[in-house]
Amino acid sequence: MIAEVAAKHGFGYLFERHRLLRAGVRRRRPGVPVDATRGRHIREMLDELGPTFVKFGQLLSTRPDVVPPDIVQELVLLQDRVSPVPFLEIRQVIEQELGLRLEQAFAHFEETPLASASIGQVHAAVLPGGDRVVVKVQRPGAARQIRRDVDLLLQLAELLEHRVDWGFSLVGLVQEFSRAINRELDYLLEARNAERLGQNFAASTSVTIPRVYWHYSTSRLLTLERLEGPTLNLPELAALDPARKKVLAETIADCWFQQILHDGFFHADPHPANIVYLGEGRIGLLDFGNAAVVRKEDLQEGVTLFLRVMDSDIAGIKRSLRRLGVSWPPSVEEAVTQSIEDGFSRYFGVSLASVDVRSLLQQTFDLIYSLHLRLPTRFLLLDKALVTLEGVIRQLYPDLNLFERARRYARELRYQRLDPQRWAERMERDLAAYAYVLRDFPMQLHDLLEEMRSGELEIRYRHTGLEEMIHRLDLITNRLVVALLSIALGVTGAAVAILVDKGPHILGLSAWGLPGFLLSLFFGLWLIYAIIRSGRL
């Protein structure tokens, strides 16, 4: 099915080139300019394949380190467009999860959903005590369908992994998607994310996190306090006067910078539909399935990275990038150094106070993406959240300097670097790590020496990138065999035609040599056609 839809949208050539198609779907749709509009065709293909593939495309849109920019721009347009599940099925899920009849669990339950997506849909309800809530219900069979689709994706990734040079692990990407979508299937994890954010903003008067009703929540059912107000994607927000828009934009910016730079735990999907306007510059947050952690060590190393940029310390910049989890092979070491010099030269020697932090941060991500360096997933979510946040602020109040709001948090991080207590904590962590390594080292060395003495030491060599060369050698060998066969048939036919005297003759040559000539001609023409068709004449 995947191959057929891919062929329909102009990508059959990929499967055909790597011998992955069955005979029935070998031709791609004529007239599809794959190279010119590949992003749009990929988006349409994923949309047609269904909800799981749409979510996979949404994940790919957050990976500019492995996906070209033109494709990323199209993939961000993917949205869950799923018809609602009949209410009878939703009712069955609720009653199975709670062990109660719907009328016993809720004083009122709206049959028409507020929203419907690929994994679940949301209904408004009222609890017996009068609390107004929203109930997120997982679609029946969603987990089974998603696991089946992920298995298909994994099989396809394993087929393509060593046949095409992707520049990254396709299987690893699918496995990352599998982990992400399985987290979304667990509503209890989303509930814990909401509760953690609620604790972080418990003292805030401007940010509200809906309360979790744990007695009405399971792994397939999530009940949250209902926040009354329009989300930022609704027309009501356009009517606000500029002063209120500015206050609202400042609240949103402060909310996310507190999460990222102070709490170290942030809502990773701040798009307008997930932010509710509660009036007077107050906001509420929705949809906590996507959340991520920023380690304190990462924040401190980030500040160190920026300071090393100011000091023109190229070697120090590379050390900071490695400590942040950015990795690259030795073969691109010189390219990394050159890119750092070219990209960061405008900041060398200036003070941190005069730096456009947004520009410097974006320059860092651009450098990583341009060189296809490996970046930890938590930073990809951070980049996506910051880009989305900047878009929301720009649409709401374009004159607000988003990263100017972050300076007080950045100053706090700089002061923390000089705090003796922080130094002591870091030293304690480092000593504990070294002690752990030193404790295991003697036994590891002993095991290694024992294996060497017993002759059981194995050194495994894993080659990569040779599959295409082997495939080409197979083609060359096959063509040589066909060429030799054609020549042999031609020579044999000529010898028979000349040397045989008996039997019918044509133009003085024996007719018995004719089959050899015809077969030689057939194989010769077939060989020429195959060479021309491959484009390697």
Instruction: Provide the β-strand partners of residue 374.
Output: 327
Domain shared by 15 and 160, yes or no: yes
Tokens coding 367: 């450098």
pLDDT for the residue 378 = 72
| 120 assigned to some structural domain | no
Domain shared by 10 and 148, yes or no: yes
pLDDT for the residue 34 = 46
Domain shared by 177 and 29, yes or no: yes
Cite the DSSP H helix spans in 258-350.
296-310, 314-323, 333-344
| 356 assigned to some structural domain | yes
User: pLDDT tens digit string along 193-234?
Assistant: 999 999 999 999 999 999 999 999 999 999 999 999 999 988
Give the H or E element holding residue 393. helix 377-396
Looking at per-residue pLDDT, the higher value among 533 and 264 belongs to 264
Give the contacts of 222 (CB within 8 A, at least 6 positions apart). Answer: 135, 136, 187, 190, 191, 212
How far apart CA 45 and CA 234 sit, in angstroms, is 29
| 235 assigned to some structural domain | no
Mean pLDDT of the chain: 79
Domain shared by 301 and 383, yes or no: yes
Indicate the pLDDT class of residue 326, thresholds 50, 70 and 90.
confident
pTM: 0.67
| 242 assigned to some structural domain | no
Q: Kindly report the CA angle at 173 between 170 and 176, in degrees rounded to 5?
A: 155
Query: Of the listed 149, 269, 298, 383, which one is catalytic?
Result: 269
Domain shared by 47 and 171, yes or no: yes
Looking at per-residue pLDDT, the higher value among 525 and 502 belongs to 525
Average pLDDT rounded to a whole number, residues 426-448: 74
* Number of compact structural domains in the chain: 3
DSSP string, 178-212: HHHHHHHH-HHHHHHHHHHHHHHTTT-SSEE-PPB
Domain shared by 416 and 473, yes or no: no
Domain shared by 378 and 473, yes or no: no
Question: Is the per-residue pLDDT at 460 higher than 70?
Answer: no
Domain shared by 399 and 506, yes or no: no
**The amino acid at 432:** A
Domain shared by 301 and 395, yes or no: yes
Q: Is the dihedral of CA 161, 162, 164, 169 positive or negative?
A: positive
| 75 assigned to some structural domain | yes
Instruction: Provide the β-strand partners of residue 116.
Output: 121
Question: Is the per-residue pLDDT at 24 higher than 50?
Answer: no
Q: What's the domain range around 516?
A: 469-534
| 303 assigned to some structural domain | yes
Domain shared by 409 and 499, yes or no: no
Tokens coding 61: 């849109």
CA-wise closest residue to 372 among 320, 319, 331: 331
Is 474 part of the annotated catalytic residue set? no
pLDDT for the residue 340 = 85
Among 65-79, 232-246, 459-473, 491-505, name the most confident range: 232-246
Tokens coding 97: 């999860």
Q: Is the dihedral of CA 301, 307, 311, 317 positive or negative?
A: positive
Domain shared by 24 and 161, yes or no: yes
Tokens coding 475: 């083609």
Among 257-261, 436-440, 470-474, 517-521, name the most confident range: 257-261
Domain shared by 410 and 480, yes or no: no
Q: What's the farthest any 2 CA atoms get from each other in the chain?
A: 110
How far apart CA 139 and CA 120 sit, in angstroms, is 5
Question: Is the per-residue pLDDT at 419 higher than 70?
Answer: no
CA dist list (Å): 451 to 334, 443, 447, 455, 460: 38, 12, 6, 6, 15
